[in-house]
């Protein structure tokens, strides 16, 4: 059944859960209407196709709970049917290899989000852990233009500051950092600087606030009240209409997934990481699954957000953003 009118239509801008019927049922329980689901990280094109095949099986087996969405119209159709819309994304551009033409093929297969980098230098730009950030590359410029043409979401999570700002300024459509928090709240280069926040505001972009402990002040001990106060301060800086949720929920993933995310195939050693050893941190008690999203809405209300602002942050701001990015220029 559709989400009750008394509860916000929730859109999560980033998840990499270990997908199961239990998780899809928790999405329904939490009123989650759409999720940007990470398909993969360092996979090449053929491996990515295999991951999309696995998603086709999930839609066949759990079609009463989830539906694939490649457009705003398909999100709305899933919304009307009471199912959660699943939008595909990659957190690394390795799936397009060095072939610009593969972007359109993957878009035809349902890919809507693409990160231009994941921590390291890619063919498109620099990740936040590189020693030098040289900005958007020649191929990166071509990819931005093609993603604009195809109606794909440019996601700058995990990118370096210069690379992120250049992408935001170059793109003809709004750009997102789908899962991060302000660096003034937790001082890590993985979060976004004021320079990036200002660029998002100037170009009508969207920042998806992360609920991953390494991105939050206090880590796993962060309170809902602290998170909501941060969101209120950010709303004063960028406007509440440019804020969403990008939880970065990795529910039920084994710790071995961390090594793949960080290391891929580029090193034989466990990559040095300021967040410590490759284990998933404990989620805060107030957000452990999709069923907990209504509590976030309550926390935002308690922090002084108006009802329409809460609705926006929980999902309607993402919908406005997607209408501009997945539509026509």
pLDDT digits (tens, 9 = 90+) for 13-55: 999 999 999 999 999 999 999 999 999 999 999 999 999 999 9
114 phi, psi to nearest 5 deg: -145, 125
Report pLDDT for 327. 77
d(CA 213, CA 172): 33
- Report pLDDT digits (tens) over 169-205: 999 999 999 999 999 999 999 999 999 999 999 999 9
Q: What is the pLDDT of residue 329?
A: 46
Q: Which of 259, 261, 238 is nearest to 248 (CA)?
A: 261
Alpha helices in 111-160 (DSSP H): 138-150
Just give the CATH number of 10-325. 3.20.20.140
Kindly give the parts of the chain with pLDDT less than 50.
5, 329
Domain range annotation of the chain = 10-325
Whole-number pLDDT of residue 195: 98
Check if the beta carbon of residue 194 is closer than 8 Å to that of residue 223.
no
């Amino acid at each position: 059944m559709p989400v009750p009118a008394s509860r916000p239509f929730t859109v999560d801008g980033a998840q990499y859960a270990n997908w199961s019927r239990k998780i899809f049922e928790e999405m329904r329980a939490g009123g989650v209407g759409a999720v940007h689901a990470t398909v993969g990280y360092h996979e090449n094109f053929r491996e990515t196709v295999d991951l999309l095949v696995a998603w086709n099986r999930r839609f066949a087996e759990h079609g009463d709970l989830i539906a694939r969405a490649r457009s705003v119209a398909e999100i709305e159709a899933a919304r009307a049917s009471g199912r959660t819309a699943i939008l595909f994304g990659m957190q690394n551009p390795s799936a397009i290899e060095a072939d610009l033409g593969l972007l359109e093929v993957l878009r035809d297969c349902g890919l809507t989000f693409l990160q231009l980098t994941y921590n390291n230098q890619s063919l498109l730009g620099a990740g936040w852990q590189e020693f030098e950030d040289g900005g958007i590359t020649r191929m990166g410029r071509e990819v931005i233009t093609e993603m604009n043409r195809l109606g794909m979401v440019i996601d700058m999570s995990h990118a370096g500051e210069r690379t992120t700002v250049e992408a935001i300024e170059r793109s003809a459509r709004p750009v997102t950092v789908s899962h991060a928090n302000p660096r003034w709240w937790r001082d890590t280069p993985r979060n976004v600087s004021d320079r990036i926040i200002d660029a998002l505001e100037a170009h009508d972009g969207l920042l998806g606030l992360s609920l991953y402990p390494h991105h939050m002040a206090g880590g796993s001990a962060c309170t809902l009240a602290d998170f909501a106060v941060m969101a209120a301060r950010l709303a004063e800086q960028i406007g509440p209409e440019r804020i969403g949720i990008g939880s970065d929920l990795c529910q039920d993933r084994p710790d071995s997934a961390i090594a793949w995310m960080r290391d891929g195939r580029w090193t034989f050693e466990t990559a040095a990481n300021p967040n410590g050893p490759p284990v998933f941190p404990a989620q805060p008690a107030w957000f452990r699954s999709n069923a907990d999203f209504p509590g976030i809405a309550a926390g935002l209300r308690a922090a002084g957000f108006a009802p329409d602002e809460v609705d926006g942050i929980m999902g309607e701001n993402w919908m406005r953003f997607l209408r501009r990015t997945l539509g026509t220029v």
